[in-house]
Amino acid sequence: MTHVVDEAFDASVTDRLAIIEEELVKAAVADSPFVTEAARHIIDAGGKRFRPLLVILGSHFGAEVDEKDLVRAALVVELTHVASLYHDDVMDDADMRRGAPSANRRWDNSIAILVGDYLFARASTTVADLGTDYVRLQAETFARLVQGQIAETRGPQEGDDPLDHYLQVVADKTGSLIATSAVFGGMVAGASDEVLTALDAFGEEIGVVFQLSDDIIDITSTVTGKTPGTDLREGVPTLPTLMLQASMDPADEPLKQLIASDLSDDDKLSETLAALRAHRVIDQARREVQRHADLALSHLAPLPEGHAKTALAKICNDLVSRSV
């Protein structure tokens, strides 16, 4: 959270995140030093811990929580997320992850896949301590993650709208686990079905906002840790490029062809980035991000007023503002 909601509330969230961080490192410990090192590789590189944060905030919409169960719930979603990153890096043939060499580069693809499997097993062990409702939701969520990855790998099929296909992939690969994070927090607090439904809907939309704002940052930002044009150079479909692809304006053809060309040359990539930044499609993409953010905020309506609800709204608005 980049804005203070309430100093005491923020401090309690920060303290809980610190405990979760300690337990996350412990959860990656294996029987062999090598597996422990490999399993901690991405965890030690840090991260936003966005999903544990949503577990904590979701836990404020019910009764008093069992702190151990809260930590377990946060570990489950973050371990599942980290496990998926190992697999993603193999699928994407990635070189870097969070500023460090990716596991598939430091070791090899087989090790990266197996470490991802190990971390998912650790998540499964942890979720078993929470009960069958949690086990079922985690399994359903993981099924969506896998289906989203398969759909992304295959790409849109004949008759599919490429943008609709992409948004479904984003919902499955990113939105589903973020939604489950918020719901897990509510479940730990014994929240009502109405609250759980609201947290689920908010989480799914905020996950979409999270990814789509990243898409815009890949083109527009020169100050984040991510090298501008990474997705563009690798030919990864993103919201702005897909919106441009859907344009029927003949004047857009040269830029479409430029984007579809080999962008391995730095000068050519810079030329393409400059043309995209100046194009109306960036404002169109920002409006689409705002539309999803407004939808996410509307799902907060049934939740009781308080610091947690304010924090969720601020997270949503912060995600939008970072891509402006």
Q: How many CB atoms lie within 10 A of CB 26?
A: 8
Question: 3-class SS at 97?
Answer: strand
What architecture (CATH level 2) is domain 192-323? Orthogonal Bundle (1.10)
Determine the pLDDT at residue 234. Answer: 86
> What topology does CATH give the domain 1-156?
Farnesyl Diphosphate Synthase (1.10.600)
Angular region, 99: left φ>0, alpha ψ -120 to 50, beta rest: left
**Rounded Cα gap, residues 59 and 57, in angstroms:** 5
DSSP state of 304: P
Per-residue pLDDT of the chain (324 residues; tens, 9 = 90+): 445 568 999 999 999 999 999 999 999 999 999 999 988 888 888 788 999 999 999 999 999 899 999 999 999 999 999 999 887 777 777 666 666 777 787 787 888 889 889 999 999 999 999 999 999 999 999 999 999 999 999 999 999 999 999 999 999 999 999 999 999 999 999 999 999 999 999 999 999 999 999 999 989 877 645 577 888 888 889 999 999 999 999 999 999 999 999 998 889 999 999 999 999 999 999 999 999 999 999 999 999 999 999 999 999 999 998 876
- Listed by start position, the domains of the chain span 1-156, 192-323
Determine the pLDDT at residue 226. Answer: 58
- Contact predicate 273/228, CB 8 Å: yes
Determine the pLDDT at residue 255. Answer: 94
pTM for this structure? 0.93
- Backbone torsions φ then ψ of 101, nearest 5 degrees: -55, 135
User: How many residues in total does the chain contain?
Assistant: 324
Copy the structure tokens of residue 25: 């490192």
Determine the pLDDT at residue 2. Answer: 45
